[in-house]
Amino acid sequence: MDATWMAAGDLAAAVRARKVSSAELLEHFRKRVELHNPRINAVVVFDWERAKERAAWADAALAGGTPTGPLHGVPMTVKECFDVEGLPTTAGHVGLKANAALRHADAVRRLLDAGAVIFGKTNTPLFAGDFQTYNEVYGTTNNPWDLTLGPGGSSGGSAAALAAGMTPMELGSDIGGSIRNPAHFCGVYGHKPSYGVVSLRGHVPGPPNSLNLPDIAVAGPLTRNADDLDLALSVLAGPGEWDAAAWRIDLPAPRRTSLADYRIAICPDDAFCPVDSEIADAISRAGDALAKAGAAVRASKPAIDFAASFRLFYRMLAATLAPGYDDGLLDQLAAGAKAAADQQAMSALFMRGATMRHVDYVRAEAARQDERARWADFFTGYDVFLCPIVMTAAFAHDHSPDIQGRRLKVNGAERGYLEAIGWAGLIGNVRLPSTVVPVGHTKAGLPIGMQVVGPYLEDRTCIDVARHLERAIGGFTPPAGYDA
């Protein structure tokens, strides 16, 4: 059998049925990595020897009648930001090259407890902070659809490895689209869980071995189909170590049992962050396909000022990142915030957010809770909300150090690079789950993804709609040149 494009769930079933061994699967993906990774540079840390030992253990356990879990014997990779005991976790920073993890990240441990065989780690931008994936430690990751383009960020190595058939499942993280953006750029599936559903302990940033739980940020899976997202979420969801004595996470089943029962709101574009017309058109066609298949689909959005909501997100994002800055930089940011001529410019919003007083953060939190209530009210009338994730398809590598000065083309006009976080931040700050599903390609053949956003903690509803859409219009398609 050719395991390259098989679902992770199907690979696990094949191992359990003795159609293939874990050792054989690992060797298959090792050859895929050796063949395709040199030109993509997605997998940047390798752990082949320990993976061979674990695959041999998985096969022996199965022979003894004791499979360990739903991913028993399935080889996979994880984003470099997650600790894997004994392997480096640098988040792309040269100062952390000697940082060998002392223990597994919680999410990695859950994957291993489910039987996964982790053979490597995938690339990320410096401190997971870009819409591209490059750093001084591991270099640049290319998009399998076009090597002159980036795969997105910050889980860019994750999405590129999936799209090139070098791994069947990935673990990523997301604070401003870092799962969703690469899934869109590379044509794969990604799920940003509801905040707090998957533990982030053992993720860099924050600092190595930090016990702090950052706001907004989440960990979640990337795959090549919706069923694997559901499988991965079942494995990953659970309380953190300190909460496990009493808390349980029992995510509800999808709201509806039939597509015909779903009430779907769609917003292919919006003035707060206009998207390229090819993306808006693809999202509209996806909505039409769901309607044709029986769902009730209407143009609608919650009673929220999207532009104001995004400004709130950007300030709170800055506040979340600020503890990693030294006092000197914070003093500079505070001075810059006061001196900014345009207080609504993204640079001013960031400086103001990074240096806001605690009382101002509490007030911002109150505004966020008001938004969350408005979203909850919206989801009494609709089950999911369809919208863009990024305003463009994958774009060319741009490593110019002035990130504020970078530009993207949208409908022929130049836009600020940081505007690419708009649709992601709108959803992330209110802690909602979002599944990115492929919905087509541009005229140039680049993938287009769409967010399926659902009510808080109703992650399985998002994934279920993604599954219905997969059946209606098709899902992942491999880029040319990776069949061998």
- Residue bearing the bigger pLDDT, 66 or 353: 353
CA angle 389, 321, 107 (to 5 degrees): 70
CA proximity to 410, closest of 400, 420, 401: 420
Position 140 in a domain: yes
On whether both 366 and 217 belong to a single domain, the answer is: no
Bridge partners (DSSP) of residue 440 are: 448
**Distance from C-alpha of 159 to C-alpha of 122, rounded to nearest angstrom:** 9
238 with 217: CB under 8 angstroms? no
- CATH code (residue 18): 3.90.1300.10
What are 408's two structure tokens? 């993207």
Q: What is the pLDDT of residues 429-483, one digit of tens each?
A: 999 999 999 999 999 999 999 999 999 999 999 999 999 999 999 999 999 999 9
257 lies in a domain?
A: yes
Active-site residue, from 21, 22, 79, 309: 79
Q: Report the length, in residues, of the chain.
A: 484
pLDDT at site 150: 98
* pLDDT tens digits for range 111-155: 999 999 999 999 999 999 999 999 999 999 999 999 999 999 999
250 with 109, same domain: the answer is yes
Same domain, 190 and 84: yes
| 144 in a structural domain | yes
**Which residue among the candidates 155, 158, 173, 178 is catalytic per the annotation?**
178
Active site residue 22: no
240 and 311, same domain (yes or no): no
Is position 448 within any domain?
Answer: no
Q: Which of 21, 22, 154, 158 is catalytic?
A: 154
Classify residue 443: in a domain, yes or no: no
The reported pLDDT for the residue numbered 323 is 92
Name 308's Cβ contacts closer than 8 Å, sequence gap at least 6: none
63 part of a folded domain: yes
Give the single-character DSSP code of 51.
Answer: H
- Statement to judge: residues 207 and 338 lie in one domain: no
Q: Could you tell me the strand order of the sheet in which 189-192 lies?
A: 43-46, 117-122, 75-79, 170-174, 218-223, 189-192, 434-441, 447-453, 384-387, 263-266, 296-299
Which of 351, 375, 399 marks a domain boundary? Answer: 375
The confidence score (pLDDT) of residue 342 equals: 84
Q: Does residue 254 share a domain with residue 313?
A: no
Question: pLDDT at position 78, please?
Answer: 98
Q: Which of 449, 120, 103 is nearest to 286 (CA)?
A: 449
Segments forming the whole domain that contains residue 152: 8-261
Total domain count for the chain? 2
Q: What is the predicted pLDDT for the residue at 1?
A: 83
> What per-residue confidence (pLDDT) applies to 83?
98
Spell out the SS3 assignment of 330-394.
Answer: HHHHHHHHHHCCCCCCHHHHHHHHHCCCHHHHHHHHHHHHHHHHHHHHHCCCCCEEEECCCCCCC
**pLDDT score, position 177:** 98
Residues 250 and 369 in one domain: no
Is there a catalytic annotation at residue 277? no
- Whether residue 115 is contained in a domain is answered as yes
Does 194 qualify as catalytic in the annotation? no
- For Cα atoms 15, 36, 473, give the angle at the middle one, nearest 5 degrees: 70
Model pLDDT, residue 471: 97
Same domain, 49 and 159: yes
pLDDT tens digits for range 316-347: 999 999 999 999 999 999 999 999 888 888 89
How much is the pLDDT for 63? 92
pLDDT of the residue at 484: 72
In this structure, what DSSP letter does residue 404 have?
Answer: G
Domain match, 252 and 315 both: no
124 and 246: one domain? yes
Helix runs in 41-137, H state only:
48-63, 106-113
* Residues 148, 215 within the same domain: yes
Q: What percent of the chain has pLDDT over 70?
A: 100
Of the candidates 458, 432, 431, the one whose C-alpha atom is nearest the C-alpha of residue 214 is 431
End position of a domain, from candidates 322, 348, 375: 375
Residue 341 confidence (pLDDT): 82
At which of 235, 261, 287 does a domain end? 261
Question: Does 24 map to a domain?
Answer: yes
- Do 231 and 349 share a domain, yes or no? no
